[in-house]
């Protein structure tokens, strides 16, 4: 019998779940309770899982959805023999610098640069630096709900372009792999307001991998995105996790964004394993080029007069 305990960790979101043995399948009742706690608290921390095997990590993650086999990622970033596990690590691989050593360095929702942003992820900490290497999540439902009704109306029908080339630190990665990532992920359009398929609540889909808002000029787009991103990631909506080896953090990617902080000594290993749960197909390929510039608008006006 499990002695399941759920302890809230933050106001914006976050709860710790103890009393589970994740090396074994969860019974139906326990699974339901954990799933409901997840929908409620959005980010769950499961401590004490340092020795989980990849197969057990995968089996646990399947409680929360079908797993992604990471077609959008370069194969050398996946765990050998397990396409379901992405290795987020600063440890060299096959004698080369790791291609995921700076993964997640700007605010993002996983795979928003694809037609199928992830539903969720379960990230397991295998090794960590003595201090730092924290991750922060922002609650985008709160962000949406605390906008004025007027601003909610303004963004209601807006769509934005998400672009993999805005992943911070791409220029430090292998150019051939970056080119491959670009090929796999041309720019895509997503609505700025998402409706959570399970809770029905609206959230704001912004983040630092958005290049522009469709239909606005470059200046309008940057100003509005700047405001929305700053609002969404303000401290009141953020949960910050200080990792312990063996923590699994499970997050709902349908209503959050996150950032992996480089606040640690990079000579020390930080080694994480991630399973991602597949999201629903949501976006469409971006057709148009970049937003209109002010110069173009002036030209348009000039030609009309």
Ligand X SMILES: O=C(O)CCC(=O)C(=O)O
Binding site for ligand X (CB under 6 A): 88, 103-104, 110, 121, 123, 135, 258, 260, 272, 274
Nearer to ligand X, 137 or 144 (CB): 137
What value does the CA radius of gyration of the chain take, rounded to a whole number of Å? 20
Q: Among this protein's residues, is 274 annotated catalytic?
A: yes
Q: Does 68 bind Fe ion (CB under 5 A)?
A: no
For residue 42, what are its two tokens? 């959005």
Task: Tell me how far the alpha carbon of residue 95 is from its chain's centroid.
Answer: 28
Q: Which is nearer to ligand X, 89 or 203 (CB)?
A: 89
Nearer to ligand X, 88 or 164 (CB): 88
Closest to Fe ion by CB, 260 or 292: 260
User: How is residue 231 written in tokens?
Assistant: 């609002």
Is 104 one of the binding residues for Fe ion (CB under 5 A)?
yes
Q: Alpha carbon of 60 to those of 27, 133, 250: distances in Å? A: 12, 24, 10
Q: Is 287 exposed, middle or buried (0-12, 13-18, 19+ CB in 10 A)?
A: exposed
Tell me if residue 57 is catalytic: no
Q: Active site includes 162?
A: no
Which residue, 1, 6, 8, 13, is CA-closest to 237?
A: 13
Rounded least distance, CB 288 to Fe ion, Å:
27
Binding partner of residue 272 among ligand X, Fe ion, none, CB cut-off 5 to 8 Å per kind: ligand X
Binding partner of residue 88 among Fe ion, ligand X, none, CB cut-off 5 to 8 Å per kind: ligand X
Q: Which of 70, 101, 110, 254 is catalytic?
A: 110
The residue with its CB nearest to Fe ion is 104
Decide which of Fe ion, ligand X, none touches 135; Cβ closer than 5 to 8 Å per partner kind. Answer: ligand X
- Is residue 207 at the binding interface for Fe ion, with CB under 5 A as the rule? no
Q: Determine, following the binding rule CB under 5 A, whether residue 14 of this chain makes contact with Fe ion.
A: no
Cβ at position 256, least distance to Fe ion in Å = 10
> Among ligand X, Fe ion, none, what binds residue 123 when CB lies within 5 to 8 Å by partner kind?
ligand X
* Catalytic sites, residue numbers: 108, 110, 258, 274
Binding interface with Fe ion (CB under 5 A): 104, 110
């Amino acid at each position: 019998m499990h002695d399941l305990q759920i302890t809230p960790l933050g106001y914006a979101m976050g709860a710790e779940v103890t009393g589970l043995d994740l090396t074994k399948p969860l019974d139906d009742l326990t699974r339901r309770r954990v799933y409901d706690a997840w929908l409620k608290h959005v980010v769950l921390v499961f401590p004490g899982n340092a020795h989980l095997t990849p197969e057990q990590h995968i089996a646990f993650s399947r409680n929360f959805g079908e797993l992604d086999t990471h077609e959008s990622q370069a194969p050398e970033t996946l765990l050998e023999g397990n396409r379901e596990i992405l290795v987020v690590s600063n440890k060299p691989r096959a004698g080369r610098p790791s291609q995921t050593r700076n993964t997640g360095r700007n605010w993002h929702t996983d795979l928003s640069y694809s037609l199928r942003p992830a539903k969720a992820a379960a990230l397991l900490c295998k090794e960590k630096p003595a201090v730092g290497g924290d991750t922060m999540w922002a609650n985008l439902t709160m962000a949406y709900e605390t906008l004025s009704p007027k601003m909610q109306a303004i963004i209601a029908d807006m769509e934005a372009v998400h672009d993999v080339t805005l992943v911070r630190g791409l220029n430090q990665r292998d150019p051939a792999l970056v080119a491959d990532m670009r090929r796999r992920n041309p720019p895509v359009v997503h609505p700025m307001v998402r409706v959570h398929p399970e809770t029905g609540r609206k959230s704001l889909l912004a983040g630092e991998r958005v290049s522009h808002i469709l239909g606005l000029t470059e200046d309008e787009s940057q100003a509005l995105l700047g405001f929305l991103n700053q609002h969404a990631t303000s401290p009141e909506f953020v949960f910050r996790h200080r990792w312990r080896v063996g923590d699994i953090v499970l997050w709902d990617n349908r209503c959050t964004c996150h950032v992996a902080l480089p606040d640690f000594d990079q000579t020390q290993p930080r080694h994480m394993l991630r399973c991602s749960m597949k999201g629903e197909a949501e976006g469409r390929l971006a057709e148009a080029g970049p937003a209109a510039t002010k110069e173009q608008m002036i030209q348009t006006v000039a030609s009309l007069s």
